[in-house]
Amino acid sequence: MQTSYARHMQYLLRRQIIVTLFLFICISSFAQREINLPNHEMKPYYFGITLSGNTAYFHMDHAPKFLQDDSVASVASIGKGGFGLGLLGTLRLVNHLEARTNPQLIFATRGINYYINQPLTGDPNWQQKNVESIYISLPLQLKFSSDRIDNFRVYMLGGGKYEYDLASNSQARRAEDLVKLNKSALGYELGLGFHFYFPTFIFSPEIKFSNSFNSVHSRDKNLIYSNVIDRMQARMLVFSIHLEG
């Protein structure tokens, strides 16, 4: 019994020593942590650069032609990957609230899957059309930030944007196998991000959802791949890395 009791006491003592050492190391590390860029929140404005990746897709409404004509049995959008490069400008309004613009050049691809009941000879029933876009994106956002905890901060943002599609095919004449898109669109964005403060810059990962207000589809009733679709809203899920100074 005494041997078991002694072993139990030794175990408790070792555990207390380990916990004490762990707490001491944590407290020492916390006490020695330097606050990077301590006056950054007082800057009236600052700039940065952006590298982003995206998954883009369409939210579609079927046209009456889809129900009236059985040549196309199914049509659905699938998401595809893209990327973007941009600049970042932030203006301090009041504590915790900033205005931000993040103009970017965005490369996006969206897929549309069709099931054709009676395809041309040699063509498969399932056919996919890739719709490529190169956007000049001009957003204006409001950004609300939390209190800073050492070298960490959380923020939320929302706002509107204007996009111009440099790759729009809305004026194409020979477009039998195309889905035409309008050149410009208005939309909104909602996002969440994190600031990590380093000695000379701020590293800010961010995730954001965007959606167009208006339909980006330039519908042509004479095109088999276009006349079965009514409205198409351009949607995008974006993961960005901002480097700010």
Examine the domain organization and report whether 12 and 84 are in the same domain: no
Does residue 217 share a domain with residue 142? yes
Q: Are residues 21 and 136 in the same domain?
A: no
Residue of 181, 76, 200 whose CA lies nearest to 128: 76
Helix (H, G, I), strand (E, B) or coil at 220: coil
Please, what is the Cα angle at 187 between 80 and 96, to 5 degrees?
A: 105
Whether residues 96 and 150 fall in one domain: yes
The pair of structure tokens assigned to 164 is 């111009």
Whether 80 and 10 share a structural domain? no
Based on the domain organization, do 14 and 105 belong to the same domain? no
What DSSP letter does each residue of 103-138 carry, written as one string? -EEEEEEEEEEEEESSPPTT--SEEEEEEEEEEEEE
What does the pLDDT read at residue 73?
72
H or E stretch covering 32: helix 2-32
pLDDT at 67 over 50: yes
pTM of the model: 0.79
pLDDT of 28 reads 43
Do 160 and 191 contact (CB within 8 A), yes or no?
A: no
Same domain, 190 and 236: yes
pLDDT band at 236 (very low <50, low <70, confident <90, very high): very high
pLDDT for res 117: 75
Distance CA 212, CA 128 (A): 23
Is residue 23 located within the same domain as residue 47?
no
The domain of 2 spans 1-32
CATH at 190:
2.40.160.20
pLDDT tens for residues 103-133?
A: 999 999 998 888 777 666 666 777 888 888 9
- pLDDT tens digits, one per residue of 138-188: 999 999 999 998 889 999 999 999 999 998 875 554 555 567 788 999 999
The residue among 174 and 222 whose pLDDT is bigger is 222
Q: Is the dihedral of CA 16, 21, 24, 25 positive or negative?
A: negative
How many domains would you assign to the chain?
A: 2
Average of pLDDT values for 199-221?
89
Listed in sequence order, the residues at least 6 apart from 32 whose beta carbon sits closer than 8 Å to its beta carbon are: none
Give the list of residues 6+ apart from residue 33 with CB closer than 8 angstroms, or none: 150, 151
Cα(189)–Cα(234) distance, rounded to whole angstroms? 12
Higher pLDDT, 171 or 207: 207
Quick one: 17 and 92 in the same domain? no
Regarding whether 119 and 23 lie in a shared domain, the answer is no
Same-domain status, 121 and 94? yes
**27 and 121, same domain (yes or no):** no
Tokens 């380990």 correspond to 18
